Structure 1
Amino acid sequence: MVHRIIEWSLRNRYIVLLLAAILFIWGFFAMKKNPVDAIPDLSENQVIVFTEWMGRGPQLIEDQITYPLVTNLQGLPKIKYVRGSSMFGMSFIYVIFNDDVDVYWARERVLERLSTVTRSLPTGVTPQLGPDGTGVGHILWYTLDAPQMDLGEQRALQDWYVKFALQNVEGVSEIASFGGFQKQYQVTLDPNKLLYYRLSVNEVLNAIRANNNESGGRKFELSDIGYIIKTSGYLQSMEEIGNIPVKNQNSIPVRVSDIGTVQMTGETRLGIFDQDGEGERVGGIVVMRYGENAAAVIDRVKEKMKEVAKGFPEKVKFDIVYDRGELITESVESIKRTLLEEMLVVSIVVIVFLFHWRSALSIIIQIPITLAASFILLNAFGISSNIMSLTGIALAIGVIVDNGIIMSENAYKHLAERYAIWQEKQKNEQL
C-alpha cells in the first residue's frame, strides 16, 4: 500500500504539490481562526447552581437548601457527579457533566430540574445558575480611579453604568462587581419601644413593604383626552420611611420613627479590596463566555471601556489591574519566536549535511505545511493556541524533519544501489 502511494506520488508530482499548497492555505486560515489564550482550559465541564439565603448558618443552609438540591440533581443524564458546598448565607452546587456534553445543553437540563425542585425549598429562596464561564474565565480585572467620589458612589457607578455597558460586549458572560458599599436604607428598631407599643418586627416589615408600592388605576377620558390614573408610592427618602404608620393606638398613628431610626448605610461586607496599599477601590471582573477567544474578547472589552469612559464624571477613569491579554501576547510571541528559530536552525543543518538543495528543499518544505495542518486539527478538536499546544508543535519539528531525512537517505541508498548495478551492467556490455 505504501509503495503504491509513493509510486503514485512520484508519477503525479504536480498534483501532490497542488494538494500540499491547498493544505497549507487551509491551515493558514485555520490558524487565523484558532482561539488564542495563554493557558489551556483544563477545568471540568460543570454547571454551578448558586442559592442565597442571607442570615442563616451553614448547617441550616446544608439541611434546607444544599441537601435537597444535591439529591434532586443527581438523576440528570450524562452526569458524572454532584458536589455541594454550604457556607453562611450561601449554597453552591457543582454539577459535573461528561466532557463531551455541550455546556448549554447541560444548563438547560439543570434549569428543567430546578423548576421542580424549587417547591421543596424555603419560601423566598430561588436557586440561580452561575455564569456560563470556566475556571479560567477571569480575563480582565479593573478598578475605578475616582479620587473625588466616595466608595458608595463608586459602587453605584459600577453597578448601574459600567456593568451594564460591558456586559453587552460579545463573548462576555458576566461582570462581577467588587469593593465599595452597596447603598441601602437601614431601619434600626428599638426592642424596648417595640415592647411598649406591642409591635413585632414582622408588622414593621409588612408596613414598610405595603407603603413602598405603586399601583395603577384606569384610563380616564375627558374632552377627547385620555388621562392615566395611578398612585405613586415608592419611597424616595429616609423621611418618608420614618413617617410610615405601623399601627394606630387610641387614634394616634405609631410611625417607624417612633420605634427606631432610619439611616443610609451600606450592605454588610465580609471583606475589602485594597489596591497597592493605597486604600479601598471599586471595580469589576470580566468573565469570558465558554469557548470564546480570550484575546479577541479582551480587545473588544478595552474598546468598549474607551466608549464607557466618555460618560464618566470628571477625573474618573479605568485602572486595569490584571490583563491576561499581555500574558497571551508575551507567551504566544515567545513560542512563535522559538518556532521560527527552530525552523531556521533545522533548515541550515539539513542543507549543510545533505549538501543538495533539492533534497534539502523537499525536507524543509514539510515544516510549514505540517505546522499549518496542525491548526486544522486544533480547530477540529476545540484546542486553543496556548503555551502547551504551541510547545508541543515546537517539540514535534524534530520528528517532522527526521521523517524527511530518513526518506531522503533511503532514496539515496536505493539510487546508489541501482547506480552501481547500472555501472556494472555498462562494464559488462563494453567487455
Structure 2
Amino acid sequence: MISKFFIEHPIFANVIALVTVILGGVFLYGLPVAQYPEIVPPTIQVSTRYPGASAEVVAATIGVPMEQAINGVENSIYMSSTSASDGSYALTITFEVGTDLDTSLALVQNRVNTALAQLPGGVTAQGVTILKVSPNILLVASLYSENDRYDETFFSNYAIINLQNPLARIQGVGQIRIFGAGPYSMRVWLDPKRLQTFGLTTADVLAAIRGQNIEVVAGQIGGPPVPENQPFQFTINALGRLSDASQFEGITIKSTSGTAPQLVRLRDVGRVELSQQSYSNFSRFTGHKAAQIVVFALPGANAIQVADRVYKAMAEMSKQFPEGMKYAIRYDTTLFVREAIRSVYVTLLI
C-alpha cells in the first residue's frame, strides 16, 4: 500500500529522500564518537605523600588505615594501591559500570576523613587528594629544548606552575600528571661527623628548621585602644618563610651560654642547596632533557573533543614559553579514533 503510493507520486518520494539525505548530512558530524563504548569501570584515586619514608613505612602507616577505612564503600568492586620508595601513596578504587562517580566521590571522602586521625603528621601536612580518574592516558605532551638550555627541574617546575592548572580546568580533563625531575626543593646535606662533634642529631636539625621557617603574625603598632592624638597605625611585617639557601644556612641549631658559649648554625653541620625534590626520576625526549605532561580524561568524556581543547590550550600557552623551550605531543590515543571515524564518514558519503 505504501509502496504503491510512492510509485504513483514520484516527486513526493524524491523530496522525502532528499530531505532524509540532508538531515543525515546535518546530523552526521554531531554524532558522539569514541573509540570504544563506556565499558571500563569508573575509578576514584586517593593519593598522598610521606616525605622521606620508605615503601614499607608508607604501606604500614598510610596504606593500612586508609584501606581499612575505604574497604567496602558502596558499589566498589575492588581496590589496588601502590606504595613507592619516594614516599608517595596511591589507592585506586574501582566501581561497577554505571555508578554515579559524584556520589561515590562523596562516599570515599567521608571514609578518608575517618582515617585522617590515624595518619602521621607529615602526611596530613601534605594533604590527601581524592580525584575521579580514568585508567587510560588520553595524550602526552613533552616540554624540551633542542639546545638543552634548561635542565629537567626547570621543565618540571614550569609545567607544574604554569601549565598544570590551566590544563586541569579544561572541560573533560580528569587529571594532569607531570613526570620528570619533580619540583624544586631546598635540600639539606648533613655531615654526620660534624653533627657528632656538636652533639646533635637529625631530629634537632629538623626541629630547628620547622621552628624557624614559619609564617608569623608580628602584630601592629598604634592599634586600638590608643590615645586620641595617635593618628597612625602600622602593620609589622616579619621575615616569615625562608626563600634561599643562605637564609636556611643561617638557621640556629644550638646555642648555649655560660663559660663556654656556643652557637651552631646549619652551615656548621652541612650545606644547603636549591635542587630537585627527588633524584630518582628523570625524563628525556629525543635525547634532550624534558618533562612529560600526561593528560587523563574524565570517565565518559568525549576523547576527541577533550584532545582538541588540550591541543588548542597548549598552542596558546606556548606563545608565553621562555626562549628556546618547545613542546611536542608525543602520544595521542585519539589518532586511531579520528582515522576510523573519517573512514566511516567517507563510507556514509559514498
| Residues 1:25 and 1:219: Cα distance change in structure 2 (over 3 Å) | farther
Q: 1:80 aligns with which of 45, 53, 77?
A: 77
* Aligned counterpart, 2:106: 108
Q: 2:303 aligns with which of 294, 298, 317?
A: 294
* Aligned counterpart, 1:166: 167
Tell me, yes or no, if the aligned pair for 1:165 and 1:308 is still in contact at 8 Å: no
Higher mean C-alpha deviation, range 111-120 or range 54-63: 54-63
- 2:53 equivalent to 1:56: yes
| Residues 1:215 and 1:87: Cα distance change in structure 2 (over 3 Å) | closer
| Residues 1:124 and 1:332: Cα distance change in structure 2 (over 3 Å) | same
Find the structure with the greater CA-based Rg.
1
Higher mean C-alpha deviation, range 202-211 or range 263-272: 263-272
How does the TM-score come out when normalised to structure 2? Answer: 0.81
Q: 2:318 aligns with which of 309, 326, 333?
A: 309
For structure 1, list consecutive stretches of 5 or more residues without a partner in the other structure: 1-6, 342-431
> 2-side partners of 1:179 and 1:204: how far apart?
29
**CA root-mean-square deviation:** 3.3
> 2-side partners of 1:50 and 1:56: how far apart?
15
More strand by share: 2
Matched residue count: 333
Higher mean C-alpha deviation, range 105-114 or range 287-296: 287-296
* Aligned counterpart, 1:211: 212
Q: 2:282 aligns with which of 272, 290, 297?
A: 272
Q: 1:71 aligns with which of 60, 68, 87?
A: 68
> 2-side partners of 1:213 and 1:109: how far apart?
35
What secondary structure is seen at the aligned counterpart in 1 of 2:122? coil
What secondary structure is seen at the aligned counterpart in 2 of 1:56? coil
Q: 2:235 aligns with which of 221, 228, 244?
A: 228
| Residues 1:123 and 1:11: Cα distance change in structure 2 (over 3 Å) | farther
* Aligned counterpart, 2:331: 322
> 1-side partners of 2:25 and 2:100: how far apart?
28
Q: 2:248 aligns with which of 241, 250, 255?
A: 241
- 2:193 equivalent to 1:192: yes
What secondary structure is seen at the aligned counterpart in 2 of 1:217? coil
> 1-side partners of 2:142 and 2:262: how far apart?
54
Tell me, yes or no, if the aligned pair for 1:158 and 1:177 is still in contact at 8 Å: yes
For structure 2, list consecutive stretches of 5 or more residues without a partner in the other structure: 223-228
* Aligned counterpart, 1:152: 153
- 2:103 equivalent to 1:122: no
Q: Give % identity.
A: 23
> 2-side partners of 1:312 and 1:31: how far apart?
38
> 1-side partners of 2:76 and 2:238: how far apart?
51
* Aligned counterpart, 2:267: 257
Tell me, yes or no, if the aligned pair for 1:70 and 1:83 is still in contact at 8 Å: no
- 2:106 equivalent to 1:97: no
- 2:281 equivalent to 1:283: no
What secondary structure is seen at the aligned counterpart in 2 of 1:38? coil
More helix by share: 1
How does the TM-score come out when normalised to structure 1? Answer: 0.67
